[in-house]
Chains A and B, each alone.
Chain A
Amino acid sequence: MSVVNEWAFIGVFMALAWVLPAAPLAISWIFRPRRPNAIKMQTYECGVETVGDTWVQFKVQYYIYGLVFLVFDVELIFLFPWAMAYNQLDFFAFAAGLLFIFLLTDALIYAWKKNALEWA
């Protein structure tokens, strides 16, 4: 199969993947009752009315995890070509990979020592 065909398959799949979950929603839209009222549409809370706005600032910890994740994710993408060609490479490739993974680990150790990984 040609490369164009491969991605045509993914393209058609992506279009259809929108339709498939939308279909039960559409069927439901035809059959379901619609009787909204103010109390029914209130935000769910445990027996009381919700206090204040929901979209508030959140804990900085989540950002730090996000940053550590970003470091790793980007570097892992670079490791994939290395891993794929690894069978044909020599010992130098191992040394190069080791150096690269060391840089990766370095970031982890730094974050660890800075207590960025503590859930405080």
Chain B
Amino acid sequence: MEQQCINVIETMAPCLTSSGVDPGLAQFISIFIGVILVAIFPLVLVIILIWLERKIAARVQDRIGPNRVGPFGLFQNIADAVKLIIKEDITPAGADRLIYNLAPIIATLSTTLMWAVIPFSPVHIGVDLSIGVLYFTAIGSIGTLAIMMAGWSSNNKYALLGAFRVVAQLVSYEIPMVLALLVPVMIAGTLSMQGIVVAQLGMWFIVPAFLSAVIFYISNLAETGRAPFDLIEAESELVAGYNIEYSGMKFGLFMANEFMHAFTANLLFAVIFLGGWSGPGATQLPVLGFVYLFIKTLIVYIPSLILRATVPRVRIDQMMSFNWKFLVPVAIVNVIMVAFLIQVTKAVGLAPAPGETDFLAHLPQSVILLLGNLVVIAGILTYLRGIGRKARLESTVVAKAHDVPQVAAH
């Protein structure tokens, strides 16, 4: 009985019913407890995430970071949360009060809801929706809406400019992100998150869908408003962007949401491209799945923190051209290439049987897809080098034309 009651949702209701609770109520209680577990987890995690980010940013900038409150400064964020709670909350005159107050709640809501479909282990998943990928894409867009609401309702020009940039940036980078997601869906043949992880038991998707993984990572950085794409809250230009008028706990929610969203995006990357919970012994001992998933997430999350602390911000026109004139065409070519190669490997007979979990069975198709990816990447790099050379030649021609009178004067 003990063993049977481990799974949060599926076995709890029967357990309760067998001990004499009304079946409907048992169903509800089991769902409710599942929801609470899944929803509280990111909110608790965010305290550690902010600490981690501050520590890493400090190390990059040759500082120590928080180290006074608690061991290694671990309780610094709890102290900060207390400070934010007892701060006065200022609603600017002329703000649209209802939307202004709803915005931080909706922002946090959108990130929390994404956790419903993340598979932590073979049995621990909030709910394995058959349209999981579409679900988190759709829920992720609500976050955009919340930032737009915050910027528009604040009645402040900086905030409004921040909101405009949100429309431009978040909306644009959703296209390459979704295009990149098509490739794992194509290989796995399912939209369910658990299904995608199970399909990776033989081979992680980062191998056959390498270019997709890169595109997904870059657009995730932009979607979460991280450097070098943190234009929505560019401190030097817009002071604080969309959350300039927010103070106290409302600002705290926006800040916590930003960190949570960044982590969630990397968690999704680990689930979709790095095999999620899969690893040696994970199917037998589900708890290991948690460990594997979080190690994999940190492997992609920590580089994004270092990126944030090191690279400068791009200009808005550069950012938009990079998306529409580079990422989107590359993502489209990538989808066509993968679709073509899948049909070819199927025709040749190298495609693995559906449900195959053997590494060797996946190897031929994955290698062929990887080679296809590398060919596309090589093509892109050659093209970029050509453009770069042309630009350099033009600039030297201009410089020489500029030099001529000076030489003559000598």
A57 to chain B minimum Cβ distance, whole angstroms, is 12
CB of B155 closer than 8 Å to a CB of A? yes
Given A12-B32, A79-B182, A104-B332, A119 and B316 touching (CB < 8 A)?
Answer: yes
CA distance A80 to B189 in the complex (A): 10
Closest to B185 in A: A83
Query: Do B189 and A84 have beta carbons less than 8 Å apart?
Result: yes
Interface residue from B105, B128, B187, B342 paired with A22 (Cβ < 8 Å): B105
Measured between beta carbons, the chain B residues less than 8 angstroms from A85 are 189
Contact with B along A51-94 (1 / 0, CB 8 A): 00011001101100110110011001101100111111011001
Measured between beta carbons, the chain A residues less than 8 angstroms from B158 are 44
Query: Do B92 and A69 have beta carbons less than 8 Å apart?
Result: no
Closest to A97 in B: B339
Interface residue from A13, A20, A77 paired with B108 (Cβ < 8 Å): A20
CA distance A112 to B328 in the complex (A): 12
Stretch at the interface among B72-80, B213-221, B243-251, B295-303: B243-251
Stretch at the interface among B82-90, B265-273, B304-312: B82-90
CA distance A13 to B185 in the complex (A): 25
Interface residue from A5, A29, A80 paired with B27 (Cβ < 8 Å): A5
Closest to A3 in B: B130
Query: Do A69 and B174 have beta carbons less than 8 Å apart?
Result: yes
CA distance A39 to B71 in the complex (A): 41
Query: Do A31 and B239 have beta carbons less than 8 Å apart?
Result: no
Closest to B245 in A: A44
Measured between beta carbons, the chain B residues less than 8 angstroms from A45 are 156-157
A72 to chain B minimum Cβ distance, whole angstroms, is 5
Query: Do B325 and A16 have beta carbons less than 8 Å apart?
Result: no
Query: Do A32 and B35 have beta carbons less than 8 Å apart?
Result: no
Measured between beta carbons, the chain A residues less than 8 angstroms from B43 are 20
* Residues from 239 to 263 in B contacting A, C-beta threshold 8 Å: 239, 244-245, 248-250, 252-253
Interface residue from B40, B112, B127, B249 paired with A9 (Cβ < 8 Å): B127
CB of A114 closer than 8 Å to a CB of B? no
CA distance A53 to B191 in the complex (A): 46
Given A1-B127, A65-B320, A17 and B113 touching (CB < 8 A)?
Answer: yes
A112 to chain B minimum Cβ distance, whole angstroms, is 7
Most buried by A among B108, B128, B252: B108
Query: Do B156 and A32 have beta carbons less than 8 Å apart?
Result: no
Measured between beta carbons, the chain A residues less than 8 angstroms from B189 are 84-88
Interface residue from A55, A58, A69, A105 paired with B171 (Cβ < 8 Å): A69
- The interface residues of chain B, by DSSP majority, are classed as helix
Query: Do A94 and B35 have beta carbons less than 8 Å apart?
Result: no
Contact with A along B339-353 (1 / 0, CB 8 A): 110110011000100
Measured between beta carbons, the chain A residues less than 8 angstroms from B316 are 119
Query: Do A24 and B253 have beta carbons less than 8 Å apart?
Result: yes
Closest to B249 in A: A28
CB of B290 closer than 8 Å to a CB of A? no
Given A44-B156, A50-B156, A69-B175, A13 and B88 touching (CB < 8 A)?
Answer: no
- Total interface residues on B, CB under 8 Å, equals 89
B167 to chain A minimum Cβ distance, whole angstroms, is 5
CA distance A79 to B182 in the complex (A): 8
B349 to chain A minimum Cβ distance, whole angstroms, is 14
Query: Do B90 and A40 have beta carbons less than 8 Å apart?
Result: yes
CB of B377 closer than 8 Å to a CB of A? no
* Residues from 1 to 47 in A contacting B, C-beta threshold 8 Å: 1, 5-6, 8-10, 12-14, 16-18, 20-22, 24-25, 27-29, 31-36, 38, 40-46
CA distance A117 to B321 in the complex (A): 7
Closest to A104 in B: B332
B61 to chain A minimum Cβ distance, whole angstroms, is 26
CB of B134 closer than 8 Å to a CB of A? yes
B335 to chain A minimum Cβ distance, whole angstroms, is 7
B21 to chain A minimum Cβ distance, whole angstroms, is 16
Given A21-B109, A69-B172, A5 and B31 touching (CB < 8 A)?
Answer: yes
Query: Do B36 and A41 have beta carbons less than 8 Å apart?
Result: no
CB of B49 closer than 8 Å to a CB of A? no
Measured between beta carbons, the chain B residues less than 8 angstroms from A10 are 113, 116, 127, 129, 135
Closest to A81 in B: B191
Given A20-B112, A32-B248, A76-B175, A101 and B335 touching (CB < 8 A)?
Answer: yes
CA distance A26 to B190 in the complex (A): 41
Measured between beta carbons, the chain B residues less than 8 angstroms from A90 are 343
Sample of 8 A–B contacts (CB below 8 Å): A10-B129, A27-B249, A32-B87, A44-B158, A50-B156, A84-B185, A87-B346, A105-B332
| Known contacts A5-B31, A73-B178, then 7 further A-B pairs from the complex at CB < 8 Å, ordered by chain A residue | A12-B35, A20-B108, A46-B239, A58-B164, A62-B164, A76-B175, A83-B185
